[in-house]
């Protein structure tokens, strides 16, 4: 391969990296914006967040096009092949994160049609950790820093534990005041979207490790999302849910309703 062709090949790989980083930056910005419009109860701004999801979808299309072209024209091998194949998977993960941002914005619009519920401090903390994981994994991808990626992967258990705690907190709140059930369910879905952002950031981290080392991380990732277990709906081991002001109400099967 001539020097000119080698430079063109390197330029193509750098362009692919740049497209993915732009995707990631846009997804991170959209996720933060979705939480902001939720806190401000701003439906107009929420619609802008939803509309911006098209830009992320368009960038994913560009990445897919460039991957096909590189595979067809360059016939990459070894690390270059890992870079290209991993970029396709990473772009897919980022696209899903963009979808979760749009979903959260849609839920915020639905919440705005009901009376405001009490602030949920755990939701802001969940959003902060999910956002940090996404930003950190994008830096790790930019620098091809496998150790930094592994540190992001390790934080997924922390995010799972926070989500499980928030799930139980909201479940207790709904049991005590059945009038809050509808709004609390929207908040639970937003929380689940944030937990899934962490899962996709973890997927990206594992792909970075694969690019650098040619294999997946050796240790299985730790999971602390216990909300799908049979006893996830138990408020405590010894107490029954109290009756709310509107009287008793049967609780919906939340563990079965949460998105995957």
| Sign of the alpha-carbon torsion through 95, 101, 105, 111 | positive
The predicted pLDDT at position 206 comes to: 97
First to last CA, the chain: 46
Q: Which pLDDT score is estimated for 245?
A: 36
The SS3 of residue 233 is coil
Query: How far apart, in whole angstroms, are the C-alpha atoms of residue 165 and residue 210?
Result: 32
Confidence at residue 257, expressed as pLDDT on a 0 to 100 scale:
43
Q: Where are the domains of the chain?
A: 3-257
Task: Give percent helix, percent strand, percent coil of the chain, each to the nearest 5.
Answer: 75, 0, 25
Q: Rounded CA gap, 136 and 49, in Å?
A: 22
The reported pLDDT for the residue numbered 16 is 94
Give me the pLDDT at residue 251, please: 37
Are the C-beta atoms of 131 and 28 separated by less than 8 Å? yes
Write down the pLDDT at residue 3: 60
**CATH fourth-level superfamily of 3-257:** Phosphate transport system protein phou homolog 2; domain 2 (1.20.58.220)
Distance CA 246, CA 260 (A): 32
- Under a CB-based contact definition with an 8 Å cutoff, are residues 61 and 78 in contact? no
- What single string gives the DSSP state of each residue in 44-109? HHHHHHHHHHHHHHHHHHHHHHHHHHHHHHH---HHHHHHHHHHHHHHHHHHHHHHHHHHHHHHHH
pLDDT of residue 260: 44
* pLDDT at residue 48, rounded to an integer: 96
The predicted structure's pLDDT at residue 224? 65
Predicted local distance difference test score (pLDDT) of residue 249: 39
Tell me the sheet residues that pair with 77: none
CA distance 126 to 198: 10
Block means of pLDDT (10 residues each) for the chain, 260 residues, are 66 92 97 95 96 96 93 85 94 98 96 82 93 98 97 96 94 88 93 97 97 87 64 42 37 42
Longest dimension (CA), the chain: 79
């Amino acid at each position: 391969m001539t020097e000119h062709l080698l430079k063109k090949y390197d330029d193509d790989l750098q362009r692919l990296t740049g497209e993915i980083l732009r995707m990631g930056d846009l997804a991170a910005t959209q996720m933060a914006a979705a939480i902001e419009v939720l806190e401000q109860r701003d439906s107009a701004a929420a619609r802008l967040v939803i509309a911006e999801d098209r830009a992320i979808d368009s960038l994913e299309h560009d990445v897919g096009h460039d991957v096909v072209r590189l595979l067809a024209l360059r016939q990459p091998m070894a690390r270059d092949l890992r870079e290209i194949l991993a970029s396709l998977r990473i772009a897919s993960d980022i696209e899903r994160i963009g979808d979760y941002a749009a979903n959260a914005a849609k839920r915020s619009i639905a919440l705005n049609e009901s009376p405001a519920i009490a602030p949920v401090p755990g939701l802001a903390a969940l959003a902060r950790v999910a956002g940090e994981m996404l930003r950190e994994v994008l830096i790790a991808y930019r620098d091809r820093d496998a150790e930094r990626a592994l540190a992001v992967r390790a934080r997924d258990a922390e995010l799972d534990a926070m989500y499980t705690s928030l799930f139980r907190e909201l479940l207790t709140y709904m049991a005590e005041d059945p009038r809050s059930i509808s709004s609390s369910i929207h908040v639970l879905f937003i929380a689940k979207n944030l937990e899934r952002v962490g899962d996709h950031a973890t997927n990206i981290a594992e792909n970075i490790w694969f690019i650098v080392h040619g294999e997946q991380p050796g240790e299985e990732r730790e999971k602390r999302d216990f909300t799908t277990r049979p006893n996830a709906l138990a408020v405590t081991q010894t107490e029954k849910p109290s009756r709310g002001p509107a009287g008793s109400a049967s609780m919906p099967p939340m563990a079965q309703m949460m998105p995957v």
